[in-house]
Amino acid sequence: MKDLALALAEHVARTDYRDLPPAAVRATKTFLQDTIGVGVAGSAGPWVADLVGCLSGWGVADQATILARHARFPAPAAALANAYQIHNSEFDCVHEGAVVHAMTAVLSATLAHAERQGGVRGEELITALAVGVDVACHIGAASRAPLTFFRPGTAGGFGATAAVGKLMGFDASTMVRAMGIAYGQMCGTMQAHTEGSILLGLQVGFNARNALVACDLAARGVPSVENVLEGPFGYYRLFEGEYDAGSVLKALGRVWRVTELSHKPFPSGRATHGIIDGLLELERRIGFAPSQVERVTASVPPLVHHLVSRPITDRPEPGYARLCAAYVGARALMRGTVELEDFRPPALTDPATHALARRFTMDPDGNPDPNALGPVTVTVALGEGRQCHHVRVDHMYGSPARPMSRDAHLAKFRRNWVSGARRLYEATGERLIRLVDDLEALGDARELVELTRAQGA
C-alpha cells in the first residue's frame, strides 16, 4: 500500500482547477465566503486586541491583512490572527465525519500567502483551498480513534500546508517535506476544549502560522522526515491511534471533502447543534414556554457527550458556554435561536437561563463510532401533568443532508460582516458577495482580501 503522506502530496501536486467537479467549486466558494464573514465577526472576540498587540511587537512586514483591520502584518502573523478570529466564536464550518473545522487553518494560511505573493488567480485560489480541505479532512476521516488532540489544529495544519504548497508550485517530494516540517511544529491539545479556553482557537492559529513557516523552509530545500503520517513516531501513532489509510487512498480524486462540509447556523460547538435542532423542532411542533419545561434529556453519541456535556457554572467564559449544551439549549428555548450576543454579558449570567440549564441531562447512547456527532434524541418533559415528547435528529441543520439555503447562507454572512470590532461598510460586503460568485474570473486574490480591510484603523 502506498504511503499515505506521499499519496496525499501527489494528489495535491497533480490536481488542476479543471479536475474539480462543479459541486466542489461551488462549495469552495460558499465556504470561503462563510469563513471570511465568521472571521470578521471574530475580530470582536475575546483577547483579539491583545493578540494583535503581541503580533505587532514580533516583527514588521507589509505582507498580509488581518480581517477587519487596516494595518498589514507578516504573513505568518496574519494567518495566526485570522485563524483565531475565525474559530473564537465557534461559528466556522466543519466536516462532521472528520471532526475538522477544515477551512479555518486552510483559508487563513492560503489568503496570507496569496496576499504576500500576489498574482494568485481565482481559479488557483479555489484549487488550493479545495485540495487543502481535502488533505485536512482525509487525514481526519481516516482516524478510527477518539479525539485526544484537537484535530482542527493538527489535521487543519496539514491541510493549510498543502494549500500553501499548492500555490507555491510544490512537487510531491517538496510537499512531503513541507508536511514533515509542519508536523515538527504541530500542536493542539483537547485540554483547551475541556476547559473552554481561548487556547482552542489559538491552537488552530499556531498551526496555520506553522504551515507558512513549513512551506517557506521546504521551498529552500530544508529537509524533514518522510514517514510523516504512518512512521513509528508519525502523526497517527502519536496524535490519533487506530486509522484506515485504505479508505483515503480509495477516495482520493473521487470524493471531494469540501462538498461534505457543514455550515454552522449557530455560534456554538457543532456537538450542541443536534440538541438545538431537536429543541426547536419540539417547540414548533408542540408549542410550550420555557417555564413549562421540567426536564430535558438528550441521548447522544459518546463524542457529543465528551465534548459538550458539562455543568453550567455561575460565570461561564464565552468559550466554555459555547461548548456547554445545557447553556446553549436553554438559550435556544428562551430565544428561539442562538446568536453571538448569547455569549456576551448579560446573557452569560442570566439567572433564568442558568435555572433552565440545570434541568438538562445528557446520556451517552453507546454509538460505536468514536467520531459520530449524531444521531441525537431529545426528550422534553413538561409540567402540569403534560407528557414527555421526543424527537430524533439524524442530520443537523447546515449539513449536506439538510443544507442551509443560499438566502440563509447570505443572511449569516451579512450579519457577521457588520459584527466586527471595526465596522465594515455593507456595500463592501455586497461587493465581496459578487466577487466570490464570479471568483473564477478574479485576476488577483489581493482584490478579495482588500475588501476585508477596515479603513483608517
pLDDT, tens digit, 9 for 90 and up, residues 23-44 = 999 999 999 999 999 999 999 9
Q: Are residues 44 and 191 in the same domain?
A: yes
Alpha helices by DSSP H, listed for 73-170, are 75-87, 102-117, 122-141, 151-167
CATH number of the domain enclosing 70: 1.10.4100.10
Could you give the CA distance from residue 73 to residue 59 in angstroms, rounded to a whole number? 8
Angle in degrees, CA 238, 271, 408, rounded to 5: 125
**Quick check: 384 pLDDT over 90?**
no
- Cα 218 → chain centroid: 26
Strand, helix or coil for residue 408:
helix
Q: What is the mean pLDDT of residues 166-176?
A: 99
Give domain status of residue 398, yes or no.
no
Q: What are phi and psi of 94, to 5 degrees?
A: -145, 145
CA dihedral 246, 247, 251, 252 (to 10 degrees): -50
Q: Are residues 386 and 275 in the same domain?
A: yes
Contact present, 24 and 134 (Cβ < 8 Å): no
**Quick check: 433 pLDDT over 60?**
yes
Give domain status of residue 350, yes or no.
yes
Q: Which of 369, 393, 417 is at the close of a domain?
A: 393
pTM: 0.97
Q: Are residues 337 and 352 in the same domain?
A: yes
Residue 387 structural domain: 270-393
Average pLDDT, the chain: 97
Give domain status of residue 456, yes or no.
no
Q: Are residues 160 and 284 in the same domain?
A: no
Residue 26: predicted pLDDT: 99
Give domain status of residue 457, yes or no.
no
**Quick check: 456 pLDDT over 70?**
no
Q: Are residues 345 and 443 in the same domain?
A: no
Residue 423: predicted pLDDT: 84
Domains: count for the chain? 2
